[in-house]
A = this chain, B = another copy of it.
Amino acid sequence: MFEFEIQSRDGRARTARFQTPHGSVQTPMFMPVGTQGSVKGLSAEELTGIGSQMILGNTYHLMLRPGAEMVAAHGGLPGFTAYPGPFLTDSGGFQVMSLGHMRSISEEGVVFKSHLDGSLVSLTPERSIEVQGLLGADVIMAFDECPPFPAEPPYIRSSLERTVRWLERSLKAQSQGERGRDDQALFAIVQGGIHPELRQQSLGATLPFGTPGFAIGGLAVGESKDQMFPAVAYTAARLPESKPRYLMGVGHPEDLVAGIALGVDMFDCVYPTRTGRFGYALTDDGRLNLNSAPPRQQLIPIDPDCDCYACVHHTRAYLAHLTKAEEMLSPRLLSLHNLRYLHRLVERSRAAIEGGTFTEWASVWGERYFKGRLPDWFARALSGDETPALVHSAPIKAEAN
Contact = CB atoms under 8 A, between A and B. Distances in A.
Contact of A74 (B44, B80, B315): B315
A38 B325 CA distance: 10
Interface stretch (A162-170, A181-189, A316-324): A316-324
A64 to B, nearest CB: 10
Contact of A299 (B37, B40, B74): B74
A76 B319 CA distance: 15
Contacts of A45: 309, 313
B309 A65 contact: no
Contacts of A332: 41, 43, 328, 332
Contact of A42 (B61, B324, B329): B329
B74 A328 contact: no
Interface of A: 36-38, 40-45, 61, 65-66, 70, 73-74, 80-82, 296-297, 299, 309, 313-315, 317-318, 321-322, 324-325, 327-329, 331-333
Contacts of A36: 321-322, 325, 327
B66 A296 contact: yes
Contact of A82 (B65, B313, B325): B313
Nearest to A331: B328
B321 A40 contact: no
A9 B328 CA distance: 40
